[in-house]
Each structure stands twice: as structure tokens, then as C-alpha cells.
Amino acid sequence: MDWYRIVFETIDMRSFSNLWFWIALAVMWSSTSHWVLGVPFDMVVRARRTGTDGPAAADLEELVRINVTRILYIAEEAGLWIVAIGSAVLTGLAVLGWVYWIEFAQACFLLGFPMSMVGLLSVVTAARIRREGLGGPAMWRRLSMHRLGTQIIGMVSIVVTALWGMFMNMSVNVLGG
């Protein structure tokens, strides 16, 4: 058996017909909607259940404060570089994907672009939490709204990716590419 043939049969570079791509997409959006600003959402649910006086609420507030500080520090110190490099990478993937029709680049773009939107949403939410000094139920609502926004971006991303993936798989089969 040829080692390279086995590897490339297992890791098919035609991304949209590869089960691993769809598993990665599902895991990515599942974990992204669970971790809200770096905080597991079950902590928000637990804090709501026990109220503002419980230790769950204090733990949540401290973890949110730590992550908001971390996110805003990164945005202030390296935000311009992150935006510049991220834009260059996404532009390169878009050009490779839709000008040169490289399916792997299309798949990477369809994973990366929506995550850049979630990153932007995280910075905006973190800035709002700090600016308004949110805590308690107001912070819980803001985290829930952030999660809802993330889930909407995820649903749109999954639908667009699924439709494009079906189109690519059908066009490869019809055109014999």
C-alpha cells in the first residue's frame, strides 16, 4: 500500500465532501456558542438560578471581569495587527477560493469569516460591559444577548456553508471535476 494514497484518501482535500470538515464545523459552532466571552454559559444559567447573592454569581462576575479585561487588552495592544493580518488571510482565502476555485480555501474562508464576526462581537460586548459597569442580572442579559448573536451568526454560517457545500458536491459530480 502506498502511504501517501492512504493519507489522502483518509484526509480528502475536497473539503465539502469530507466528513471531518462537517464534524469540525459542528464542533466549532457548538463550542463557540457555549463559551460566551471565554465564560461557559452554564455559569450564567447557574448564577440566574441561585440569584445575585450566591457564590455562582460572584464566580461568574469575577470570570467575566478577567475575560473582559483580557479581551480589551488584546484589542488595544494588538487589535490593529489582528485586523490587518486577519483581513489579509481572509482576502487571500477568498481569492484562492472563488477566483482560483480551490475548494480547501473556500472551506477555510467559510469557517474563518464568521468567526471573525464573532470575534468583533466579543470585543464590542466586552467594551460595553466595561463601559456600562454591568454586573448581576444586567450582565447576565448582555451575555445572553451575546450568545444569541453568536448563535445567529452560527446558524447563518452553517446554512450558507451547507448550501455552498451541496452546490460544490453536485457540480463536481455533474462536471466530473
Give the bridge partners for 35, in sequence order.
Answer: 40
The pLDDT value recorded for residue 128 is 98
- Answer yes or no: is pLDDT of 19 > 60: yes
Query: What pLDDT digit, counting tens, does each position of 22-40 carry?
Result: 999 999 999 999 999 999 9
118: pLDDT confidence band, cut at 50, 70 and 90? very high
- pLDDT surpassing 90 at residue 6: no
Q: What is the mean pLDDT of the chain?
A: 92
Q: 147 versus 11: which is more confidently predicted? A: 147
Assess whether pLDDT exceeds 80 at residue 158. Answer: yes
Banded pLDDT at 174 (limits 50, 70, 90):
low
Q: What pLDDT sits at residue 171?
A: 84
Residue 15 has pLDDT above 90, yes or no: no
- The model's pTM: 0.89
| 94-111 mean pLDDT | 96
Rounded mean pLDDT of 70-85? 98
What is the spatial distance between Cα 171 and Cα 165, in angstroms, rounded to a whole number? 10
Name the pLDDT band for 18 (thresholds 50, 70, 90): confident
Q: Are 111 and 2 in contact (CB under 8 A)?
A: no
Residues 6+ apart with CB under 8 A from 137: 48, 52
Answer with the residue of higher pLDDT: 119 or 169. 119
Question: Does residue 76 register a pLDDT over 70?
Answer: yes
